[in-house]
Amino acid sequence: MTSKSIYIEPVNEKLARNYIGGSGFAARILYDMLKPGIDPFSPENVIVIATGPLTGTLWPTAGRYMMASKSPLTGIWGESHAGGHFGPELKYAGFDYLIITGRSEKPTYIYLNDGRIEFRKAEHIWGLNTHEATDVIKEETDPNAHIACIGQAGENLVKFASVISDYHRAHGRIGIGAIWGSKKLKAIAVKGDGEVEVADHERFIELVEDAHERVLKHPQARDLARYGTPLLVGYKQSIGELPTKNHWTGIFNEARDLTAEVLKEKFWVRDRACFSCRVQCKKVYTIKEGPYAGIVSEGPEYEAIYSFGSNLGNSNFPSIFYANYLCNLYGLDVISTGCVIAFLTECIERGVIGRDEVEGMDLRWGNHEAFIELIHKIARREGIGDLLAEGAKRASEKIGKGSEYYAIHVKGLEVSGQDGRTHRSIGLSHAVASRGADHLRGLVTVDQLGYEEVAAKRWGSDKLPDICNPYSERWKALAVKTTEDVYAIRDMLIVCWYTVSWPPIYWLEDFAKILPAVTGEEMFGKVGELLRIGERVVNLERCFNVREGITRKDDRLPRRFIEEPMPEGPGKGQRVNLELMLDEYYELRGWDKETGIPRKEMLERLGLIKETKDLERMGKLPA
Amino acid sequence: MEHANVFKPSISRIRIVKNDKLSIDVPLICIQCEVPACVHVCPVNALSRDEETGIVKLDMDKCINCSLCVIKCPYHGVFKTPSGVTVKCDLCDGDPKCVKYCPTGALQYLEISPEIEVKRGKSKEKFLKLLREYCLEKAALRIAGVGGE
């Protein structure tokens, strides 16, 4: 970005063999290019935007792409994925991945058009929201171009700013939008008429047709198609894990107003889908009356309904819909935004902060007008919004007075819509995931949802029934480890969380069939080899974090989940014994129990030789 | 994909024009008109309607790639590929792959009957209305391969 120079090279074969694509490429590239300790907003930080070998093919859910960088919110490994059509278009334009370095002096956007790369001035769109900016860029490039851009939140370096592609698809977490803002990169537009060719077309099509059939016939995939992720609202409430009032409880007394059935009946307009998806989980809603009437838009997903709904004690769906819409306009992560508001609200409700200290806003559970006002302030960094724009961790450190207890985050990333107290494996997963409190890297679903057959197949029937008991720590380290390794492969391919993580339709054996057909590399046909690659990337991301100073002491949970038993519902009295699971997890991972740092033998087994030496030089390698 | 063994939407015979902002998707495909504008406009008789099957066929040996059919088709159902070749849906000779992959039943392949004809007429009107109302004409022409700078 600094010198507006371009360098195009073919994909390195060794990189492809060892890291497949997507998150794997990003982990390798960022580890190699970033010096430890750099300021995420400095020109030294790098953005990787990557597709995978399945992107742009007919595999169901192959419409995704990812971005990675050192996160400004957490200061560690940061990645975020999104669906839609941008990823496939990037491949049709002739690019597998992009590496963006430096920092532009003036606002700029990039136009990728059939192999060509152009830097264009963006002064005239700097300051516009994502919808306005996308409109202008479409006008200036191609009406059918796909556009990823930031809104004012990214420009203002809000630490959880998102990148929005094609108006509604979000790279939400870890503040990737703020990195764009720091580089003065407003947008990337892409248009391509090219093609994606696979190694063995006939074999690939056979597997794809079977894959589509399996989605089509799966009852839970059908439910997902019908209702989208809001489906989870009713379910989570029934098991007492719908995070409510800043993760205080798992029961929201007004959840019935937010169930998928109600949304479908009252607000639903139509369905949409990402590229090549058989699920079509995107729901378009509109509000017919009241202050938010007239907007037609995709979303909100379950995570936004939890973060602006139950977690704020708010059952007014139009306000949740509007909050989600507003976050997309400004380019804000819906999870972190809702969570920092929940943090502040609880601080006020409990008297940690005086009601007179928040600029006249009437912040109390359920008062959605105040929440909406706060979203504007966060995006514009106005008043107390400026403090919240730093994320719950930093905000609470600045406020002090015991407010730290109500900052529900891990490693600086606000906790997504799960709770380890009623689902032990997600407790462990939130604590150890490479980007902080994350529901996408290692959320085991088969234990909580009672897929006993699937669990037996993956981990052996001798682990039943404990492995499927969400209130027991037993076997959860094993479940989380395997799941992280397989999800790492999922994120290298790149395919969607849905159909892999839930419902559990495809797993390693399916990837081992499809990858050789796509790439021609028969080595990918071995399940063991794939697992090793998954493990390699999990360890590489861990090494990235260890270089930044992460150790066992950071693999923690908010004290609330450890000390405060679930107050009500089916999981009443439950809390997490994290240390027990951590010991087992490190053991299985080959990481030192004391420090949580990968051991030399493990790194060498995975071919991470350079990393071994780096950690040794830094004096971090366990003895 | 069916005709080329690669994944390449720019040569597809069914395309979708989108207004992502308002979440509108309009499929562009030959609807095998009874009185096809493309047949009428073709200067070399490369396009013809098979009276028995109702399929409007493009004879590639005769086609001179003049783009008249692409411009004249009101439904934007005839396309140019990036290399300038004209393509249109031939219903995969009676086994349309798009129908096979359609997850929602939006695409159906049915024997013609008076009821179906009425339904088809309504769909046609709806498509044209959507294209007009949401200003998708320009985008649709670009997708069809004839909308220049």
Rounded to a whole number of angstroms, the distance from the CA of A296 to the nearest CA of chain B is 6
Chosen CATH of A218-414 out of 3.10.20.600, 3.40.228.10, 3.40.50.1370, 1.10.569.10: 1.10.569.10
Distance CA A335, CA A332 (A): 9
CATH 1.10.599.10 in chain A is located at 424-494+526-617
B1 touches chain A (CB under 8 A): yes
Instruction: Check if the beta carbon of residue A527 is closer than 8 Å to that of residue A508.
Output: yes
Q: Is the pLDDT of residue B1 over 80?
A: no
Domain A424-494+526-617 has CATH 3.90.870.40: no
Top residue of B23, B130, B142 to mutate, by most chain A CBs within 10 Å, is B23
Top residue of A128, A193, A196 to mutate, by most chain B CBs within 10 Å, is A193
Q: Is the pLDDT of residue B120 over 90?
A: no
Using a CB-CB cut-off of 8 Å, the residues of chain B touching A168 are 20, 23
Distance CA A381, CA A386 (A): 4
- Burial status of residue A104 (CB atoms within 10 A of its CB: 0-12, 13-18, 19 or more): buried
CATH 1.10.569.10 in chain A is located at 218-414
Distance CA A497, CA A499 (A): 6
Under the banding of pLDDT at 50, 70 and 90, the label for residue B149 is very low
Q: Which ranges of A577-618 would DSSP assign to H, the alpha helix?
A: 578-589, 600-605, 609-617
Segments of chain A with pLDDT less than 50 = none
Q: Which homologous superfamily does the CATH classification assign to the domain defined by A13-191?
A: Aldehyde ferredoxin oxidoreductase, N-terminal domain (3.60.9.10)
Among B43, B27, B38, B123, residue whose Cα is nearest residue B78: B38
Q: Is the pLDDT of residue B84 over 80?
A: yes
The minimal CB distance from B21 to the residues A167, A192, A212 is found for A167
B6 touches chain A (CB under 8 A): yes
The minimal CB distance from A296 to the residues B1, B18, B22 is found for B22
What's the complex ipTM?
0.92
A554 touches chain B (CB under 8 A): no
pLDDT in tens, A340-349: 999 999 999 9
Top residue of A147, A195, A278 to mutate, by most chain B CBs within 10 Å, is A195
Q: Which residues contact A51 (CB under 8 A, 6 or more apart)?
A: A21, A22, A65, A87, A88, A90, A91, A95, A96, A97, A494
What's the whole-model pTM score? 0.96
pLDDT in tens, B14-40: 999 999 999 999 999 999 998 999 999
Coil/strand/helix, residue A539? helix
Q: Find, in chain B, the residue whose alpha carbon is nearest to that of A86.
A: B20
Omega before A503 cis (within 30°)? yes
Using a CB-CB cut-off of 8 Å, the residues of chain B touching A197 are 5-7
Interface contact A272-B25, CB threshold 8 A: yes
The minimal CB distance from B142 to the residues A143, A167, A284 is found for A143
pLDDT in tens, A258-298: 999 999 999 999 999 999 998 999 999 999 999 999 999 99
Among A51, A28, A16, residue whose Cα is nearest residue A519: A16
Interface contact A196-B6, CB threshold 8 A: yes
CATH 3.60.9.10 in chain A is located at 13-191
pLDDT of residue B147: 72
Distance CA B24, CA A296 (A): 10
Top residue of B8, B20, B98 to mutate, by most chain A CBs within 10 Å, is B20
The minimal CB distance from B8 to the residues A195, A277, A278 is found for A195
Interface contact A144-B142, CB threshold 8 A: yes
Q: Which ranges of A460-501 would DSSP assign to H, the alpha helix?
A: 476-493
pLDDT of residue B148: 57
DSSP A259: S
Q: Which residues contact A524 (CB under 8 A, 6 or more apart)?
A: A20, A511, A512, A515, A516, A530
pLDDT of residue B104: 87
